[in-house]
Amino acid sequence: MKKVLITRKLLKSNEKRISKIWNAKLNLNDENYSQNKLVELSKGCDAILSSIADKIDMETIAKISDSVKIISNFAVGFGNIDIKAARKKNIAVTNTPDVLTDATAEIAMLLILGTARRAIEGMEYAKNQNWKWSADFLTGKQLDGSRLGILGMGRIGRAVAKRARAFGMKIHYHNRSRLNKDLEFGAEYHKNIKSLFSVSDFLSINCPATLETKNIINKKTLEFFPKDAIIINSARGDMIDDEAMVQALINKKIYALGLDVYNGEPNINPGYIKQPNIFVLPHIGSSTERTRTAMADLAIDNIEEYFKTGKCNNIVN
């Protein structure tokens, strides 16, 4: 029987399924394994079902047991894994696309609404019972008629656009390549980020994490935005240069910031904590029971398919 290491605790239904199929090394205490412990636990295993929180870099892959033939990442992203190093060691790396698209798009809309309508400030007033109505009390931004720039018009970006249209937002986007017209639904394509950012009353970051996108929001590019723009990030934390963003919030160049992901999770840049115009969530983009179940099922399916055929539709390397 194949042996599979599962690096984080899954929902009970998924753990029950995987234990019926293989000799599963479950993480029942949901311990955040160190790289050394992950290497130690991988000995004798045929596969690893990893999470986005596992840093499986070149050094770690070099030490992983030679018996491991596939790393099935429990995420749509795979920036936590050195896929080139895995390829050199003949380890397949897979992800879980499609199944978390809707849940993540919903979180993006929550960030847009939360920042635009000053939800955190409003909650504090309500909890402290110290508010009094006036014409200018907690006035925020209205979505209807505003321009939403989408950086990365893949599955999730398109799902965000679909929801934003229902709020009356005008969609603009930048992508590596222009979409077919039947996928644009009237969205306006921009060939470069300067062009996109300059018309973005709101910007939703939905592109994959690459060397090119790291710190794509920085001191220089922040100057491209209209004054009082709102930026939200539900993709990966390293898209934003935190120090530059803090200054932009302080200087009121940027009206508000919404984050479901950020550098150094779970620790956040202390400069953000002091700002009233930031709406932060603890990386819960895919956190619905239906989506997390589907993600784990797909991660299991990826391993099953690879063991049976030596191939998998979701291989990323």
Backbone region of residue 310 per phi and psi (left: phi > 0; alpha: psi in -120 to 50; beta: other values): left
Q: Which of 117, 172, 283, 292 is catalytic?
A: 283
Q: Which of 236, 290, 292, 305 is catalytic?
A: 236
Pick the closest to residue 22 from 87, 70, 61, 80 (CA basis): 70
**Residue 204 is encoded by which pair of tokens?**
């939703």
Q: Per the domain annotation, does 316 fall within a domain?
A: no
- Report pLDDT for 86: 97
- 110 and 7: one domain? no
Pick the closest to residue 50 from 62, 41, 282, 267 (CA basis): 41
> Which residue range forms the structural domain that includes residue 171?
101-280
Q: Per the domain annotation, does 93 fall within a domain?
A: yes
pLDDT (tens digit, 9 = 90+) per residue, 56-83?
999 999 999 999 999 999 998 888 999 9
- Report pLDDT for 209: 82
- 38 and 174: one domain? no
Q: Per the domain annotation, does 317 fall within a domain?
A: no
Catalytic annotation present for 265: yes
- Report pLDDT for 79: 85
Concatenate the DSSP letters of all residues of 279-305 into one string: EE--S-TT-SHHHHHHHHHHHHHHHHH
Q: Are 204 and 149 in contact (CB under 8 A)?
A: yes
Q: Per the domain annotation, does 230 fall within a domain?
A: yes
Q: Tell me the pLDDT of the chain averaged across its residues.
A: 96
- Report pLDDT for 210: 85
- 294 and 220: one domain? no
How many C-beta atoms lie closer than 10 Å to residue 15's C-beta? 17
Q: Per the domain annotation, does 275 fall within a domain?
A: yes
pLDDT (tens digit, 9 = 90+) per residue, 19-51?
999 999 999 999 999 999 999 999 999 999 999
Catalytic annotation present for 236: yes
- Report pLDDT for 107: 98
- 13 and 44: one domain? yes
- 92 and 105: one domain? no
- 212 and 164: one domain? yes
- Report pLDDT for 253: 96
- Report pLDDT for 15: 97
Count the helices and strands in the chain (H runs, E runs). Answer: 13, 12
Q: Which of 31, 40, 124, 265 is catalytic?
A: 265
- Residues 6 or more apart whose CB falls under 8 angstroms from that of 201 comprise 141, 146, 147, 148, 226, 228, 229, 230
The CATH number given to whatever domain includes residue 7 is: 3.40.50.720
- 142 and 28: one domain? no
Q: Using the 8-state DSSP alphabet, how is residue 230 labeled?
A: E
pLDDT (tens digit, 9 = 90+) per residue, 272-287?
998 999 999 999 999 9
- 80 and 228: one domain? no
pLDDT above 90 (res 208):
no
Q: Per the domain annotation, does 266 fall within a domain?
A: yes
Number of compact structural domains in the chain: 2
How many C-beta atoms lie closer than 10 Å to residue 55's C-beta? 16
- 298 and 202: one domain? no
Q: Per the domain annotation, does 53 fall within a domain?
A: yes
pTM above 0.85, yes or no: yes
pLDDT above 90 (res 54):
yes
pLDDT (tens digit, 9 = 90+) per residue, 107-161?
999 999 999 999 999 999 999 999 999 999 999 999 999 999 999 999 999 999 9
- 137 and 251: one domain? yes
- 78 and 107: one domain? no
- 298 and 273: one domain? no
Q: Per the domain annotation, does 315 fall within a domain?
A: no
pLDDT (tens digit, 9 = 90+) per residue, 210-254?
889 999 999 999 999 999 999 999 999 999 999 999 999 999 999
